[in-house]
Amino acid sequence: MNDGPIRRLVLVGSVIVDIVLYVDALPERGGDVVASHSMTAAGGGFNVVSAASRQGLHSAYAGLIGTGPFGAQVRDSLAAESVELLLPEAAEGDTGFCVALVEASGERTFATTVGAEAGLTRERLDSLRVCDDDAVYVSGYDLVYPHGPAITGWLEALPAEVTVVLDPGPLVLDIPADDLHRVLARVSWLSLNSREARLLSGDAVGVLFERAPALVGVVVRDGARGCDVWRSAVEVAHVDAPVVDAADVVDTNGAGDVHVGAFIAGLARGEDVVTAARSANAAAAVAVTRLGPATAPHRG
């Protein structure tokens, strides 16, 4: 198991653009609804690396960026957060996007289309220089997308000293079984919400350590309740989240990503897992009070 120091976070996969529409409630099927307001912002993996960067951890993007207007927005957003680009932009096509409907309660519903970022190949990944003190982050979304097999094979080939962090995401059951098995065999940290944990392990999170022999720990996020931290098949602690008044919750889009990025940054600062989880809870609590997907606070 790798439990060494972390110097840099490397996102492998997708940064896309979120088209966010704020509505009172979802329309009935076949109906329509008028959004009170809207915004476009870099999203996907950007939520993770921007959170880590704002929390003081040097971050890098190992993915493709399109040549159209969405690609330009992604490129500008990464530059604004001082996120290093490790691959050249895609030769053609624009970056993909996600339409997010955010209800007055803060709940969100997504529909996503992939773009130039799906052209990521094993050859491009093999050109990367990854160091032993890097943490490599991958989302389950990218294991479902067309470039999933390339990422899976590349992760398997990484040196054992490299920390690998996986957030299986809401599409966990859509990840090809063989790819999921192979990635779990290489994962150092799992961060997932309570629904995803049930889908992946039933009600026994400890069994994940049997499926993932290199696993150091698991963080199970549970929204306003905070999170549970597991090490070596034993729950270390439940870590409460700061109390946020329901009236202040305006957008939960990207809060889980903020949690992951802030948690990795906490580990990189040398925090123990409970302290890092507490830092991540605090960052996510701030994020839900701000409109937009990438709303992690800066570490003071």
Supply the DSSP string of the chain, one letter for each residue. -------EEEEES-EEEEEEEE-SSPPPTT-----SEEEEEEEETHHHHHHHHHTT-EEEEES---SSHHHHHHHHHHHHTTPEE-SPPPSSSPPPEEEEEE-TTS-EEEEEE--GGGG--HHHHHT----TTEEEEEEHHHHHSTTHHHHHHHHHHS-TTSEEEEE--TTGGGS-HHHHHHHHTT-SEEEEEHHHHHHHHTT-GGGHHHH-TT--EEEEE-GGG-EEEEETTEEEEEEPPPP--GGG----TTHHHHHHHHHHHHHHTT--HHHHHHHHHHHHHHHTTSSSS--PPPP-
Asked whether residue 77 is domain-assigned, the answer is yes
Does residue 106 lie in a domain region? no
- 161 in any annotated domain: yes
46 and 73 Cβ atoms separated by less than 8 Å: no
Give a yes or no: residue 245 inside a domain.
yes
What is the pLDDT tens value at each position of the chain, 300 positions in all? 466 689 999 999 899 999 999 999 999 999 999 999 999 999 999 999 999 999 999 999 999 999 999 999 999 999 999 999 999 877 789 999 999 998 988 788 889 999 999 999 999 999 999 999 999 999 999 999 999 999 999 999 999 999 999 999 999 999 999 999 999 999 999 999 999 999 999 878 989 999 999 999 999 999 999 999 999 878 889 999 999 998 888 878 789 999 999 999 999 999 999 999 999 999 999 999 998 777 888 987
**CA 207 vs CA 72, 154, 204: distances in Å:** 43, 25, 6
Global pTM reads 0.92
* 30 within some domain: no
Domain count, the chain: 1
Candidates 128, 134, 133; CA nearest to 154 is 128
Do 273 and 6 touch, CB atoms closer than 8 A? Answer: no
Domain contains 103: no
CATH number at residue 211: 3.40.1190.20
Instruction: Show the domain range for 178.
Output: 8-14+43-89+118-287
Domain-located, residue 33: no
Query: For 85-119, what is each residue's pLDDT tens digit?
Result: 999 877 789 999 999 998 988 788 889 999 999 99
* Residue 98 included in any domain: no
- Sheet of 234-239: strand order equals 84-85, 58-62, 8-12, 134-139, 163-167, 189-193, 217-221, 227-231, 234-239
